[in-house]
Amino acid sequence: WLKKLLLERCQRSHLPCVQPNPRSCTPNQVPTSHRRLSQRPAPPLVTMAPEKRVDPEDGQAYTYDELAAYYKGKYKKKAIEAYWETCTATKKSKKGKKEEPEPKAKGKAKSKAKAKAKAEPKAKAKAKAKAKKEPKPAGNFKVCVCGGAGGIGQPLSLLMSMDPNVKELCIFDLNVAMVPPAGVAADLSHLERKASVKGYVMEVGKKPIDFLEECLTGCDLVLVPAGMPRKPGMTRDDLFKTNADIAKGIVEACAKFCPKAVLGMIVNPVNSVVPAMAELYKKKGLDPMKIVGITTLDVVRANKFVGGITGKNPNYISVPVIGGHAGTTIMPVFSQDKVAATIDAEKIPDLDKRVQDAGTEVVNAKDGKGSATLSMAYAGARLGKAVLAGLAGKRRVECAYCKSDVTDLPYFAQKVAFGEGGITKVFPLGDLNEYEKKRLEEAKTQLKTEIETGLKYAESNELAA
C-alpha cells in the first residue's frame, strides 16, 4: 500500500519519477511528503536478553556462553551442549522494562549536565560493586601432596599439576617410598603445564615440623594421601593409632607453616582421623573447618554405578553420599538425583551395598596386591580442584566429611560449598525417603563410635608449638 501511495503522489506532482521506491529517485525528484517519510529515524532495535538456565551443580543461573566458558577444557563442546539442554530455563518476568526516551533536541544543556552528574555516582557505584566481585586470578596457588610418591600420591600429583589454578606443586614423602619424591617432581616438571614442581624427602622417624618449613610455607591446599594400609590381623583401632600419629605429624607442621591452608585428608580410617585432627586444630586456636575428609570417591562410585544401570552418562549424574567413609556409614541418597530416582526401589538396597563395598571389589580384583589407588587419586583431585576453584572466587559444591551440625553428630559427610577461605557453607541433608531415613539411623549408630575414637585421641594429644 505504501508503494501504491507514493506512485500516486509522484503522478500528481508530474515529476519524472516512475519508481515507487524513493531510494531509486534523486533527492530533487522525491516529493516533500515522500522525503519526510524516508527521513524519519528508524525505531530503536529491541535487544533480547540472552537466555539463562540453572546449573544443578550450584543452583545458579548462567547463559550458555558463561556455562561453556566454565566447563571448557573439562568437557567437549558436544557434551557441554547436551548438558545445557538438561538445565532448567529461568522464568522470564512478564513485565519488561520500558526503554527510556531520548532527550529532546530543544532540551537545555544545563538539564543534560545535571542528569549526567546524577548518573555518574550510580555508574561509579556499579563499577565499584563489579570490582568487588572480581575473582582472584587463577594459577597462583601453592599445593603440597604429602605422600606424593605413593600409590595414590603419584597419580594425584599428576592430576593436580594439570590444574590451571596450580602455580607451585610440592611432592613430599619418606625415604622409604617406592620412588624418591624428587624423581616424581622431575617427571612431572616435564609436562607442558605452568606449575613448577619440587620434591621433598624426610627420613623415617623424623618429625615433619623439623623438615617441612620450605615445603609448606605459603601453601593454600595440602592433600594428605598418607598412612599405612590395613594389614592382616590388624584391628581398626591398631590402624587408627598408627595412621593418627602419621597424620598428626603433618597437621602439626601445617599448623605452624600454613595455618590458613585447607587440609584434604585421605588417611584411613577417615571417620576417626578427621575428628581427631580437627579437634587438635581447635585446641591450637585454629579453624577446625580447614580439616576436610575426602569422601568424594563414594560419590564418584555412586554416579558411575547409577550410569551403568540406567545407561546414562555419569557426568550428568550427581548422587549425594552422606554419613562417613567406611562400610555402613557410606550412605548414597539416590532419591535426590533425577536419574538415580528412576531406578526400581527393589534394586536400591543392592546398589547401596555395592557402593559401600566398592573398595573390597577393587582389592579382590587386584588379588590382594593393591587397593583403589587410581580412582582415589581421581576423587582426591576432584575435591582439590573444587577447593582451588573456590579459593579463586568460583563457588563449588561437593560432598565432604567435616565438622557439622546438620545432625546430632559433631562430624558428618554432606554437601558443602567451597569458596574463598575454604568451606563457606554446610548444606542440610534434604528430603529422604523411608528407606533412606532407616539407613541414616544405621549409619549414625556406626559413625558415632568411630567419631568418639577420634575425639578421645584429641583429648590426650597436643600439637607442638
Active site residues: 325
What DSSP state is assigned to residue 104?
P
3-state secondary structure of 333: coil
DSSP summary character for residue 72: B
- Say if residues 265 and 291 touch (Cβ distance below 8 Å): yes
Q: Are strands 221-224 and 141-146 parallel, antiparallel or unpaired?
A: parallel
User: Which three cell numbers, joined as nine digits, stand for 329?
Assistant: 556409614
CA dihedral 420, 423, 428, 434 (to 10 degrees): 130
Dmax (CA) for the chain in angstroms is 113
| Helix, strand counts (H, E) of the chain | 15, 14
3-state DSSP helix/strand/coil percent for the chain, to nearest 5?
A: 50, 15, 35
Residue 428 host element (H or E) = none
> What value, to the nearest 5°, has the Cα angle with vertex 379 and ends 347 and 419?
110
CA-closest candidate to residue 433, choices 335, 320, 315? 335
Q: Nine-digit cell at 442?
A: 544405621
